[in-house]
Each structure stands twice: as C-alpha cells, then as structure tokens.
Amino acid sequence: MSIPSNAAQRDIETLIHPYTNLAEFRETGPIVFSKGSGIHVYDDQGKEYIEGMSGLWCASLGFDEPALMEAAVTQMKALPYYHQFSGKSQEPGIELAERLKEMAPVPISKVLFSTSGSEANDTQIKLVWYYNNARGKPKKKKIISRIKAYHGVTIATASLTGLPPLHQDFDLPIPGILHTDCPHHYRFAEPGETESEFTDRLAKNLEELIIREDPETVAAFIAEPVMGAGGVIIPPRDYFLKIQPVLEKYDIVFIADEVICGFGRTGNMFGTQTFSMKPHSLSVAKALTGAYLPMSAVLIPEFIYEAMLEESRKIGTFGHGFTWGGHPVCAAVANRALDLYQERQIVPHVQSVRPTLTARFAALEDHPLVGEAKSVGLLGAIELVSDKATKKSFEAGQMVGAACARFAQEEGLIVRNLPSDRIAFCPPLIMTDGDITEMMDRFQRALDQTEAWVTKEGLRTA
C-alpha cells in the first residue's frame, strides 16, 4: 500500500473502526472519503466509486440530495433540538409518527423514536418483557432469533444477532436469547430437499424448540424479512407463511426488523409485504431519513400500548427513552424523505429496474466461482465457492471474499464481504438501468480478477 495521507495517519492513531481487523488495519490504513454525488462517493485522492452498498444499507436516495439538506437547515433554524420526555413534543415528530402509523403494513397504535436500529430492537425486547409483566406472565421472557440474523450491537441485540464474532469474548449471548434455523435453502437444505420441504422442517424445528423451552417462557420471535449482515439471505417465499401459525399457536409476539428492508428496498415499501409477513410490531431505521441523519422507530401495536398504559398507572411513569429520540431535525429530514419516496415513485422505480439486476445476477451463476447469486428488489448477494458441484466453501483463512471486495474497490465499486464469502449488494434506490449495468460490469471484472488470483494461489483444494 502507498504511504497513507495525513488524514489516514491521523485516523490510525485516533479512531476505532467497527467490523475491522484492528491489528491488520494499522498496516493498511483507511480509505478517507471526502465527497458524494448521486450514487458515487469520492476518496481524498479524487477516485470515484459506485457505492454498491448505499453506505451501510442506508443511503437510499444517494449522497447529495438537496431536498434532505434543505429540510435539515430549515428545521435547524426553527428548532434545532427538543426532546420528547415528560410530555414535551414538537411538530416534526408528531407528523412523522402520524405518517409511519398510516403507512405501516400492519395495524399500529403508537410510535416510539430512537436513533439506531440497535436501539429500536433493544427497545422491542424491553417492551415485550414489559408487556408480559403487565399481563401477569413474568416467566414469558425468552426471545427467539435465528442463526445468521443481525439485529444490532447492544448487549441485548448483539445477543439476538446470530453471528459468532459478535458474541466471542464479549460474554454473549445473554441468558434468555434463543436461536432457531437460518432459512437459507442453498446452504442448509438436506440433499434433495425442496424449498417447501425445507420450510416445513424449519417450522417443525421452531415448534419443537418452543415446546422444549416451555411455551409459557417464550415471549417473542424477531426476524428480518431478508437477513442482511448475515449474508443477504433471502428466505423461500413460503417460509413466513409456515412460521407464523407456530407463533400464533403459542401466543408469541412477532417482531419484524425492517431496518434494512424498509422504505422500498425489496420492491415494496416494506419487506414485510414482499414476504407475506404479519408481524405485531416493526423496527425501522436506516432509509427512514435516507441515512442523512440518525433515526429509528418502533411501531407499537395496540395490545402492547395498552400494557404500557397499565404499567404507567402502576409505576407512575414509562421509564424508557433516549435523549435524541424523535429529534426534530432528524424527524424533519425523515418527513422529507417520505415525501421523496412518494413524489419520485421510488417503489415503482425499484420494480422497474429490478429485472436488470436480476438478469445480471442470474448470468453470474455460470461463473466458476459463483455458487449462488440471488436478489430481491435492489438487494442481493453472491456466494463464492471452491466447488460449484458440491457447494464446497473456501477455507475462511483464504479470504477469497475479502479479495473479491478488494478487487471491486480497485475497479471503483464498493461492495461488502460478509460471512461465508458472500458479496453483498445494496445500491441506492435511485439507480438507473444504466447505473446497474455499470456496477455489474465493474463487479464482473473484479470477479474475473478473483478467479485468476484463486487459480494463481492454488486455493482450490480437492
């Protein structure tokens, strides 16, 4: 690597970077970004990149949307901050809550704001516990998540997350968090098992887990419509249709984590709609503000709100909240983002360009390195394998996925290497057919370079 810039040197000595090998980073240093424009970002050396991940799954409207900037400035001049504690309020937060309640894919009673997806999902856990205490079921507290799920990094939400690096040496998961099967047919189906047979087995395994733990101790099940950081794992279409009756049978609250999938990503306003989910509550974040400011929300059903009322009468207050929850500037930007999703017909636009991405993914399945290439809306992943016939993975230490992401970066494309050498794509929702073509052309070149590197290094093993 070339000698780091002054900014890079300063970074190495001052910052901790999430999801980074900190020891290796001291040798490689960061890429410092200085500008954004549309679907592109530029580093401090002037190099242009297509941001194929929308940053962290979130910059849905690109990187220089003036309407969102203007909304922030206007609200900053009017009321730059106020909280929602002790019955205080402000108009942008009220309007946003009204709009989220109206557009929610299932009946919602109230909205509770926070600043990140982690905080929203952490709040979901607390509310489920609160609800069961209110109705006299103090033992009904266990939460079921899934292997390879991602729900955040607080102590509780990192426990929900089903990825070992988020648990190892953090003394996680905490007690009361359970993990059931990952709905990835390509990787976890038994030989000859159809998708329908696979989902039957997963529903059966879930019910057996609930019975084994005692249904009177199991409070909730949380799921992303599409599993994000665990590998962009798209479930079979009938998966949730078979899971939901099990939850209903045992009086288990169903929480949808829409942090990545919400606001058009899967070709509907919510991923819940794409996969025929009927959750009780939802967590939203990321694209809520187009990523321009940090904001999240928990969409609360009436029965949980009624329990919150009863607890407030008993205790004298609802003892939960965040300093910046419902921040008026964030709310103003979110309201403007919701306007733009409607004005620019973002959901129909995603539906119109989706076939271009789908076709390019399908073509990649013929590539010698590609085991699976699957997408929904403008969200997808490509799994690199050592042997296509047997689905054999590369050894983790060979770092093939990391090499592919590095080659893509050299080609001016930012993608993300996820567990099991799965290369994730989550481009801005404003991508045109031409943008998608250019993005995939750059990735094709990177994939071919990866294949050449794998062959040169002799990384395929018998």
Give the model confidence (pLDDT) of 102-134 as tens digits: 999 999 999 999 999 999 999 999 999 999 999
How far apart, in Å, are the Cα atoms of 61 and each of 39, 40, 126, 417? 8, 11, 32, 23
What is the DSSP pairing of strand 48-51 with strand 40-43?
antiparallel
pLDDT (0 to 100) of residue 461: 62
Give the single-character DSSP code of 427.
Answer: -
pLDDT (0 to 100) of residue 282: 98
- Is the Cβ–Cβ distance between 414 and 408 less than 8 Å? yes
Phi, psi of 257 (to 5 degrees): -90, 95
When computed from its CA atoms, the radius of gyration of the chain, rounded to whole angstroms, is 22
As given in the structure block, the two tokens for residue 186 are 């390509």
Could you read off the pLDDT of 39-94 as tens digits, one per residue? Answer: 999 999 999 999 999 999 999 999 999 999 999 999 999 999 999 999 999 999 99
In CATH, the number for domain 31-64+345-457 is 3.90.1150.10
Average pLDDT, the chain: 96
Bridge partner residues of 49 (DSSP): 41
Could you read off the pLDDT of 127-179 as tens digits, one per residue? Answer: 999 999 999 999 999 999 999 999 999 999 999 999 999 999 999 999 999 99
Dihedral sign for Cα 100, 102, 106, 108, please: positive
As given in the structure block, the two tokens for residue 196 are 């329908």
Burial class (CB in 10 A: 0-12, 13-18, 19+), 26: exposed
Comparing C-alpha atoms, which of 30, 52, 38, 48 is closest to residue 414? 52
CA distance 210 to 245: 13
Phi, psi of 296 (to 5 degrees): -145, 170
Phi, psi of 350 (to 5 degrees): -60, -40
Judge if the upstream peptide bond of residue 427 is cis by omega within 30 degrees of 0.
no
Q: How many CB atoms lie within 10 A of CB 228?
A: 28
416-418 β-sheet, strand order: 370-376, 379-384, 422-425, 416-418
Could you read off the pLDDT of 285-310 as tens digits, one per residue? Answer: 999 999 999 999 999 999 999 999 99
Residues of the chain with CATH 3.90.1150.10: 31-64+345-457
Comparing C-alpha atoms, which of 53, 41, 18 is closest to residue 424? 53
- Is the Cβ–Cβ distance between 134 and 128 less than 8 Å? no
In the chain, the percentage of residues whose pLDDT exceeds 70 is 99
Quick check: helix, strand or coil at residue 282?
Answer: strand
Q: In 31-116, which residue ranges form alpha helices assigned H by DSSP?
A: 54-57, 66-78, 91-103
pLDDT tier at 3, thresholds 50, 70, 90: very low
pLDDT (0 to 100) of residue 1: 45
Could you read off the pLDDT of 335-381 as tens digits, one per residue? Answer: 999 999 999 999 999 999 999 999 999 999 999 999 999 999 999 99
CA distance 345 to 350: 9
CA 232 to chain centre: 9
Residues of the chain with CATH 3.40.640.10: 68-343
- Is the Cβ–Cβ distance between 165 and 130 less than 8 Å? no
As given in the structure block, the two tokens for residue 259 are 């942090």
302-315 helix and 117-134 helix, angle to the nearest 10 degrees: 70
How far apart, in Å, are the Cα atoms of 405 and each of 172, 194, 382? 29, 32, 11
Half-sphere exposure of 20 (CA within 13 A, CB side): 15
Question: Which residue has tokens 């983002």?
Answer: 337
Question: Does domain 68-343 correspond to CATH entry 3.40.640.10?
Answer: yes
Give the single-character DSSP code of 213.
Answer: H
Could you read off the pLDDT of 393-409 as tens digits, one per residue? Answer: 999 999 999 999 999 99
How far apart, in Å, are the Cα atoms of 427 and each of 115, 226, 293, 432, 446? 23, 15, 18, 11, 17
As given in the structure block, the two tokens for residue 152 are 């955040």
